[in-house]
Structure 1
Amino acid sequence: MPKEKPEGIFIPMVTPFKASDESVDFSGLREVTNFLVENGVDGIIPSGSTGEFIAMSHEEQKQVNAAVCEYAAGRVKVFCSTGAYRTRDAVDLSQAAEAAGADGVMVVTPWYMAANEDELYEHYKAIRKAVQIPIMLYHNPYYSTCLLSDEFMAKLYNDGLIDAVKERQADVYRQQDLRALTDDGFGIFYGYDICPVESVSMWADGWVCGTGNLFPKENKTVYDLAKARKIEEAQKYHFAKIRPYLPLFTEKTAKGLPCPWLQVIKEGLKLRGVNAGVARKPVMALPDDYREKLKKVLKEYGYL
């Protein structure tokens, strides 16, 4: 039976942790799930980078993935993040996600000790043998250290090992090359936040956007306009409703420290009435100057 092609706007959702002991707040996880579903997104991705999978044990990751599948209850697609450095762990996490009812899995390449293409081929081959649901490769060379060629990603798809890719690099023209090397059955997802209109215009089937945690309705609207080929409307909407909030996710703090984008999302959701919890240490609370900046933007959007 052919797999359904993944497409649409997917949100790599946050994982709420309790301030008291940093345990997973499953009540908050349900709130975040419902918030995203009710704001019209097409899919959600639990336990991804934005979901702090690197701060969770594999057992916690399984529990979060299973809970989100339950909370979503078929209202949207759920692609569980199941990436791990060790192939055996990625297989185990993927099988657990499938058993929990996931519609697919998103598997980032192994990190730190950069695997070569032969090793990566066997890695994804093992996962493919273990599950029947769609596999989305997460290509994020900035953090995983694995820089894949278009030809290699196309080979993984053409050999039946993956069904889609989240392309984290900002170069939207890679999408055109990927499409030329594959066919229309390959789900190409733009994985950055700044050029959704351009990406959909250049053969992207979907958009995975972390900022959509906080602004899901705005991101869904611009994606739908671009997908409908209403490019001028999409461009105008992007400049009116997307660009104004982007500095929240790019600017440094008053101390010159890197942008606290994860804390922005979690604090922003709490200000919007959604229990997004805290981040696990070593991530610290949102600085006061940034919190005031966040509140100002949310007021401009009518959310405060």
Structure 2
Amino acid sequence: MYQPKGIIPAMLSVFNKDGSIDIQGQKAYVEWLIKKGVHGLSPVGSTGEGAAMNDEERLQVIKATVEQANGRVPVVAGVIHYSTMLGVDLAKSAIDAGADALMVLLPYYYKPTIPDALDYLRSVSKAVNMPLCVYNNPWFAGFELSPALVKQLADEGVVNSIKAAHGDPMRVNYIKYLCGEKVSTLYGHDYSPLEAFAVGGDGWLSGLPNIIPDLAVDLFTAATQDKDLVKAQAIWKRLQPIAYYFMYERVGDNASPHWLAVFKEALRLMGEDFGLPRLPTKEMSPADKKVLQRYLYQVYPDVVKAQ
């Protein structure tokens, strides 16, 4: 049974100017990521604006991703629903569309009880007859599963991987301590992937690898395969400007510019135009673009123009 590992961008979704799904644009984006060496693709999660689409649109993106990947890398499709019935339906449709695995966000917004959230995951897993990658994101779901509960689901065969999106690499460490190889533990935030790799993390599934996929792969390889901490530290030092811009320059409860706009603008600054986010998220202002350009230039001086 496939367990997601390595660098798996939480993919952006590509829209036409009228807001419809840009199928050819999505396929071009898939191709760009694969050529950068990523180990997998995860469409229609949070960074993919899954919550801004209906299921028909989500499946369009999943199918485009699967078709373009053509077996070269696995596809881990996102499932974002509160309703168990809707979650099951989307999960089954995603597998029918060719997804290799499912990344299932905990049922969100209403903050169900933990027993009910566990049953939600059990129902989805049973419906597709495979273990899930649980998307453990307290920032979006409003709660998270403890490492002990993750182990419980793994022992039941409901879960074989996790996107640990809290941000604290200690969660990666403790899940690996409890579950070992039974659970592929993927760091799911954007500021401590190196620390997560150092304590045994199996990969990085988040938004930032969308704009630095080649460097993310280099970081993963240096830390987990070459076991070369000095090399990994040097790669991370190169990445720090954009990672810390993303985490700390955009401040406040309603950080501006929005992270979805940042990712898409960063790609445009590198010559890869994959459209704009869906409203209500708007394009970055000219002033904000200049700030982003300054930070991104520090990472890719051969690609991004100096101001």
Fold match by TM threshold 0.5:
yes
Corresponding residue to 1:197 among 191, 194, 198? 194
Which one-letter code corresponds to 1:209 in the other structure? Answer: S
Structure 1 pair 270/133, CA: closer, same or farther in 2 (3 Å)?
farther
Q: Which residue of 2 aligns with 1:31?
A: 28
TM-score after normalising by structure 2: 0.93
Structure 2 residue identity aligned to 1:271 = L
> What pairs with 1:174-253 in structure 2 (closer than 5 Å)?
174-228=171-225, 229-239=227-237, 241-250=238-247, 251-252=249-250
Contact 2:219/2:236, CA 8 A, preserved across alignment: yes
Does residue 98 in structure 1 map to residue 95 in structure 2?
yes
Deviation of 1:125 (Å): 1.1
| Runs (5+) with no aligned partner, structure 2 | none
Counterpart contact for 2:95–2:101, Cα < 8 Å: yes
Distance 1:174 1:257 in 2: 25
* Structure-1 separation of matches of 2:264 and 2:213: 14
Worse-matched range after superposition: 197-206 or 126-135: 126-135
Contact 1:248 / 1:264 at 8 angstroms: preserved in 2? no
Q: In structure 2, what is the equivalent of residue 64 of structure 1? A: 61
CA distance in 2, matches of 1:215, 1:175: 22
The secondary structure found in structure 2 opposite 1:12 is coil
Q: 1:243 to 1:299 in 2, by over 3 A?
A: closer
Q: How big is each residue's C-alpha offset from its partner over 1:5-46, in whole Å with a ceiling of 9 and x where there is no partner? A: 321111011111122x11111111111111100000001110
Q: How far 1:257 moved relative to its partner?
A: 4.7
Question: What whole-Å deviation, never above 9, does each CA across 1:180-235 have from its counterpart, x for those lacking one?
Answer: 22231211011011111110111211111211111111111111111122112101
Deviation at 1:259? Answer: 3.8
| Matched residue, 1:107 | 104
User: Is the counterpart of residue 16 in structure 1 residue 23 in structure 2?
Assistant: no
Q: Per-residue displacement from partner, 1:53-110 (whole Å, max 9, x unpaired)?
A: 1110111111111111111111111100012111111111111111111110100001
CA distance, structure 1, for counterparts of residue 3 and residue 102 of structure 2: 13
Q: Residue 292 of structure 1 is aligned with which of 265, 290, 293?
A: 290
- Structure 1: runs of 5 or more not aligned: none
Q: Distance in 1 between matches of 2:255 and 2:39?
A: 34
Q: Offset of 1:134 from its aligned partner?
A: 4.2
Partner of residue 166, structure 1 = 163
Q: Which residue of 2 aligns with 1:52?
A: 49
Using the TM superposition, name which of 263-272 and 48-57 deviates more: 263-272
- Equivalent residues, number: 299
**1:132 Cα offset (Å):** 3.3
Map of 2:150 onto structure 1: 153
